[in-house]
Amino acid sequence: MGRLVPQKDYFTMFKVVKTVKKSIPNVLLLIAGDGPLRKYMDKLAKKMCIEDNILFLGNIPHSDMPYYFTICDIFVFSSVRESLGGYILRRQQEISLL
Q: Is residue 73 part of a domain?
A: yes
Q: Which residues pair with 66 in a beta bridge?
A: none
Give the number of domains in the chain.
1
Q: Is residue 45 part of a domain?
A: yes
Per-residue model confidence as pLDDT tens digits over 24-33 = 999 999 998 8
Overall pTM surpassing 0.95 (yes/no)? no
Measured in residues, the chain has a length of 98
Q: Is residue 53 part of a domain?
A: yes
Q: Which helix (H) or strand (E) holds 54?
A: strand 54-58
Q: Which residues of 36-50 are buried (b: 16+ CB within 10 A; e: fewer)?
A: ebeeebeebbeebeb
Per-residue model confidence as pLDDT tens digits over 50-66 = 999 999 999 998 888 88
Q: Is residue 71 part of a domain?
A: yes
Q: Which residues of 24-35 are buried (b: 16+ CB within 10 A; e: fewer)?
A: eeebebebbbee
97: which DSSP letter?
Answer: T
Residues of the chain with pLDDT under 70: 1, 81-98
Q: What is the mean pLDDT of the chain?
A: 84
pLDDT computed for residue 48 by the predictor:
97
Q: What is the CATH number of the domain that holds 22?
A: 3.40.50.2000
